[in-house]
Amino acid sequence: MKHRILVLRFSAFGDVAMTIPVIREFVQQNPKVEIIYVSREKFKDLFDDIPNFTFYPADLDGKHKGILGLYRLSKELKSLGITEVADLHNVLRTKIIRKFLSHPKTAMLDKARNERRALVRKENKVRKQLKPMVERYADVFRELGFEFELKHQLPESSINKENAIGIAPFAMYEGKMYALDKMLTVALNIAEKGVKVYLFGGKKESEILESWEKLNPNIQSIAGKFDLKTELEIIRKIKLMVSMDSANMHLASLVGTRVISIWGNTHPFMGFLGYGQSWDDVIQDESMEFRPTSVFGKEPKNAEKIDYFQNISSDSVIDKIVMALEEMN
């Protein structure tokens, strides 16, 4: 029997990126399975060179908006000869689509909400490693009756790496962001050692990063200048990415680039460490035993203002980068 699995995941950038190594390895181990992946058009370029794979764009702000739009999308999907449904998002929109599809072979993501709450609460906090998110995605396919094991390794790359690193200093929430003045010190120090430093960010951060690049010829901002495909190629060619707990960590994992990740109010215990990345490359303040205080980085409006990075010096980050580069030479 030919299997054609419908996969649902609409956002966010890093989360969609985290599903990709799972899909890639699943298809490698189950070559007779076809995947139809439904997501927003802007994520399409993340899915490169996956066999037996079709990307189906969902126009959630246009023709697929609202209940009627989701009904229209479900009708379109029903015509594709789906044999199984894998909901890797499990949010209101995907629940509505599942209801419209009413497919007998459906499995959905277990978000482990109780375990997450126990990890972030103030009283009786349970600080332990939760199952990696990629394994939770894999469990959805296992629940559908398929067998496969994740390698938890970065994809091998045969290209010659440039003597360069990337720095992605921004994150969606302030509690996940290392102080910009400290990060600028890191960038300048590494650039002064003769290493090219590419700065990553969105268009709204480009002004800040362009002011940094004026301070040293080895620093170059690419924020808002390239499409996603080109940006991924740049990340593929650098030796190392320095990132917050943000999408750039997951983009680097996609293309086989090692990441030094800096964590604030979130924690790798939650299961969101980049695929194939090492705990040895994690920088965080372990003395703050009240961490994590958030699953994704968002804090309540009345939350106490805490500098989660106050004890992480720019020198300690520089040392970590230098050590990693020496290991790779």
Write out pLDDT tens, residues 88-122. 999 999 999 999 999 999 999 999 999 999 999 99
Give pLDDT, residue 1.
75
Give pLDDT, residue 49.
86
Give pLDDT, residue 163.
97
Contact 74, 256 (CB under 8 A): no
Low-confidence ranges of the chain (pLDDT < 50): none
Rounded distance between C-alpha atoms, residue 240 and residue 327, angstroms: 11
Distance from chain centroid for Cα 92: 21
Q: Using CB atoms within 10 Å of the CB of residue 227, give its burial: 0 to 12 exposed, 13 to 18 middle, 19+ buried.
A: exposed
Give pLDDT, residue 286.
96
pTM of structure: 0.96
Q: What does each C-alpha distance from 174 to 87, 165, 180, 245, 308 come to in angstroms?
A: 30, 23, 11, 11, 10
- Condensed to tens digits (0 to 9), the pLDDT of residues 223-268 reads 999 999 999 999 999 999 999 999 999 999 999 999 999 999 999 9
Which CATH code fits 3-143?
3.40.50.2000
Rounded distance between C-alpha atoms, residue 82 and residue 169, angstroms: 41
Per the listing, tokens 């390698």 go with 151
Give pLDDT, residue 158.
82
Rounded distance between C-alpha atoms, residue 125 and residue 267, angstroms: 13
- Domain range 162-328, CATH architecture: 3-Layer(aba) Sandwich (3.40)
Rounded distance between C-alpha atoms, residue 178 and residue 115, angstroms: 27
Domain with CATH 3.40.50.2000 in the chain: 3-143, 162-328
